[in-house]
C-alpha cells in the first residue's frame, strides 16, 4: 500500500516515522534525497553501478544512524556528509593506495578560458569518473567538499604531499580530458559546417 505525505507534514514527523522503521517514510526520505545524493556519489564513483553501491550503502547508514540526527540542522547536509564518508570508506576498501612523489607534479594553465563552458555537465562528470580512484577521491574532497590536504591525508591514509600531488595530477588529467573533449566537439562542428 502506497501512502503519500501531504506537503503539510514536516520533517520531524517524517524522521519520527523513519525511526519507527515505517517503510513508507523511509521510501519518502530516500526519494526526496536521491537526486542530490546520486550526484554526490557519481563524483566519487568510477561508473553508475559504483555510485549506486555507494549511495545504497550510504542510505543504510542514514537509516541506522537517524537517531543521531539533531533536529534543527540541515537534514540534507547531514545525509550528504554520510554519503561523502561512505564514498571515502568505499575508496579505502576498493583501491590500493599508491604514493605519488610531489616533485613530479606541475602547475598547468590553459589559454582557452571558456572551453569548460562549452561542455555539458555529463561530459564533465564523465571526465571526473575517468580519473583514477586516488585522483578522483582527492579532487572531490578538496575541490568539491572543501577538505584540507591534512584532512584528506587522514581520511585516505596517505601523506599530505601525496594529497597535494594527486590533486595537481587530477587537475592536469581532468584538464587534458576536457580540452580533448572540447577539441573533438569543435572539430565535429567544423566538419559539419564545411
For residue 131, give the DSSP letter.
S
Residue among 61, 74, 71 nearest 30 (CA): 61
Cβ–Cβ under 8 Å, residues 44 and 91:
yes
The predicted structure's pLDDT at residue 84: 93
**Helices 23-44, 75-94: inter-axial angle, 10-degree rounding:** 50
104: DSSP letter: G
pLDDT tens, residue by residue, 128-144: 888 888 899 999 899 88
Residue 138's SS3 state is: helix
Single out the residue of 25, 193, 165 nearest to residue 107, CA to CA.
Answer: 165
pLDDT one-digit tens code per residue, 12-71: 899 999 999 999 999 999 999 999 999 999 988 888 998 999 999 999 999 999 999 988
pLDDT at position 185: 60
pLDDT 10s digits, 76-127: 999 999 999 999 888 887 754 443 433 444 444 444 445 556 667 788 888 8
User: What pTM was computed for the model?
Assistant: 0.58
pLDDT for 45-60, tens place per residue? 888 998 999 999 999 9
CA distance 187 to 169: 27
What confidence tens digit (pLDDT) does each residue in 145-185 have?
889 999 999 989 899 999 999 999 999 998 888 888 777 66
Distance CA 175, CA 116 (A): 9
Q: Helix 121-130 and helix 23-44: axis angle, to 10°?
A: 70
Separation between Cα atoms, residue 138 and residue 149, nearest integer Å: 9
d(CA 67, CA 121): 36
Residue among 12, 15, 10, 13 at smallest CA distance from 66: 15
Cα separation, 181 vs 120, in Å, equals 10
Residue 152 near residue 142, CB atoms below 8 Å: yes
- Cβ neighbours, 10 Å, residue 146: 8
Q: Which structural domains are found in the chain, ordered by start?
A: 11-94 (1.10.1740.10), 102-193 (1.10.10.10)
- Which has the higher per-residue pLDDT, 160 or 186? 160
Amino acid at each position: 500500500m502506497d501512502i503519500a505525505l501531504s506537503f503539510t507534514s514536516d520533517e520531524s514527523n517524517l524522521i519520527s516515522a523513519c525511526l519507527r522503521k515505517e517503510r513508507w517514510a523511509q521510501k519518502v526520505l530516500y526519494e526526496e534525497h536521491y537526486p542530490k545524493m546520486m550526484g554526490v556519489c557519481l563524483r566519487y564513483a568510477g561508473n553508475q553501478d559504483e555510485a549506486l553501491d555507494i549511495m545504497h550503502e550510504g542510505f543504510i547508514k542514514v537509516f541506522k544512524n537517524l537517531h543521531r540526527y539533531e533536529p534543527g540542522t540541515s537534514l540534507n547536509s547531514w545525509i550528504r556528509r554520510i554519503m561523502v564518508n561512505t564514498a571515502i570508506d568505499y575508496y579505502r576498501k576498493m583501491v590500493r593506495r599508491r604514493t605519488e612523489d610531489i616533485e613530479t607534479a606541475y602547475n598547468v594553465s590553459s589559454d582557452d578560458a571558456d572551453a569548460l563552458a562549452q561542455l555539458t555537465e555529463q561530459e564533465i562528470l564523465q571526465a571526473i569518473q575517468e580519473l583514477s580512484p586516488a585522483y578522483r577521491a582527492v579532487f572531490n574532497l578538496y575541490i568539491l567538499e572543501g577538505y584540507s590536504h591534512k584532512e584528506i591525508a587522514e581520511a585516505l591514509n596517505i601523506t599530505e604531499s601525496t594529497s597535494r600531488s594527486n590533486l595537481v595530477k587530477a587537475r592536469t588529467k581532468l584538464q587534458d580530458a576536457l580540452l580533448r573533449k572540447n577539441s573533438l566537439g569543435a572539430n565535429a562542428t567544423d566538419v559539419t559546417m564545411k
